[in-house]
Amino acid sequence: MTTALLYSPTFLLHESEGHPESPARLSEIMRALDDSNLRAQLTAIDPMPATDKQLLAVHTKEHLAHVQQIVERGGGYLDPDTYTNEFSLDAARLAAGAVVRGVDAVMTREVENAFALPRPPGHHATLSRAMGFCLFNNVAVGAQHALDQYHLERVLIVDYDVHHGNGTQDIFYHSPRVLYFSTHQYPFYPGSGHWSETGEGAGAGYTINAPLAPFTGDAGYRQIFADLLAPAARRFRPQLILASVGFDAHWADPLAMENLTVAGYADLARDLIEIAQEVCEGRIVLVLEGGYNLSALAQGTLATFRALLGDTEIADPLGAPRRPDRDLGDYVDQLRALHRLG
C-alpha cells in the first residue's frame, strides 16, 4: 500500500522549555523512521497552512483572534497547560493543514492512506478555546474539510489517545454527519467522556464514548474495537475515517496507565484499516495526538506506519508490562446495548 507521511520541520519551532509536549517528540519519531529505513518507504507530502476559512469552519473568530494576539506579543500561556511562542501560530496552522492535505491525498487516491504528524496536537481544542497542549483542533479541521470539499455525508472519527478528545466531541456534538468514537482512561483529564455523553439534538446518538479503567491493556482495547467500534462503523457507513492516535496509552507513558504495547498499537491500526476497507474503500487518515515516553512514541509510530503499509510482522522492542490486562466482561455488552448495537 502507498502511505503518506505529513510532516514539517516548522512543527519543531513550537517550544517551551521543560514542557512535556516538546519538539523532541517529533525529532525522536523522525530519527526512528530514518534509522529503520522506513521513511524511504513512505510518500512524503508537504503540508500547507490551514486557511482562515478552514479554521473558522470549526472554531470561532474570537478564538482565532485570541491565539493570533498572544503569538504576536511573542507568546505566552493560553491556559496552565497550553503554551505559545512566536512560532506557534505558523506551526498550528500547518498542523491543521497537514490533516487537510492528508484528507485530500486519500480522497483523490494520490495515496491509499496517510499518517499526519502535527505539532501542536489538537483534539482538546474546542470551538472557542485552546487547552490541553492544543491550539486548533487538527482532526476536526480535516473532518470538516472532507465534508465541505468532497460533499461527504458521513465521517467517522476514532480517538484512541489516552485522554478524551473533548474538543472534537464539542465541535461535532450536534452533528449527525460525524460519528465520534473515543476510548480513554476515565476519570482522567479533561474530565469529559462519560458513557452517557452520546450527542444532542440532530447529533443524538452520534457520539460513542468508551471510558476505561486503568490497565485495560491490548486485549480490552481490541475487544472494544471489535465489539463496539466495528458494528457502529458498519451501521454508520462512513465515507472516510479519521483517527486521533495517542501513544500515551502505552504502558511506559508517564502521564497515564492503560497498559497498551507497541504490538497492541499495531493491532489497533490493522483493525482500523480492516474497518476502513470494509466500509469506505480503505480511506483512512491517522493524526498524531499525545505520547510522552519518547521510546514508546517512536516505536508505536513506526509500528503504526508498518501496519498502514501492510506489514504483518511488527517488532516490539519495549515488550509487555508485568500487570495483566483487564477482562472487560459485561462492560462492552452494556455499551452495545446503550448504543443499540445488538
pLDDT in tens, 63-101: 999 999 999 999 999 999 999 999 999 999 999 999 999
Domain boundaries, the chain: 3-338
| Amino acid (one-letter) located at 44 | A
- pLDDT of 79 reads 96
Helix, strand or coil, per DSSP, at residue 29: helix
Cis peptide preceding 80, ω within 30 of 0: no
- pLDDT of 74 reads 97
In the predicted model, residues of the chain with pLDDT beneath 70 are none
**Using one digit for the tens of pLDDT, what is the confidence trace for 195-212?**
999 999 999 999 999 999
Q: The CATH number of 3-338 is which of 3.30.830.10, 3.40.800.20, 3.90.1150.10, 3.30.70.3270? A: 3.40.800.20
Q: Strand pairing partners for 115?
A: 5, 286
- pLDDT of 264 reads 96
- pLDDT of 272 reads 98
Cis peptide preceding 238, ω within 30 of 0: no
- pLDDT of 21 reads 98
- pLDDT of 73 reads 97
The residues assigned a catalytic role are 124
Locus of grid cell 512514541: 297
- pLDDT of 60 reads 98
- pLDDT of 342 reads 82
Number of CB atoms found within 10 A of residue 341's CB = 18
- pLDDT of 329 reads 82
- pLDDT of 10 reads 98
> Which sign, positive or negative, has the C-alpha torsion 285, 268, 310, 301?
positive
Smallest Cα–Cα separation from 173: which of 132, 202, 214, 209?
A: 202
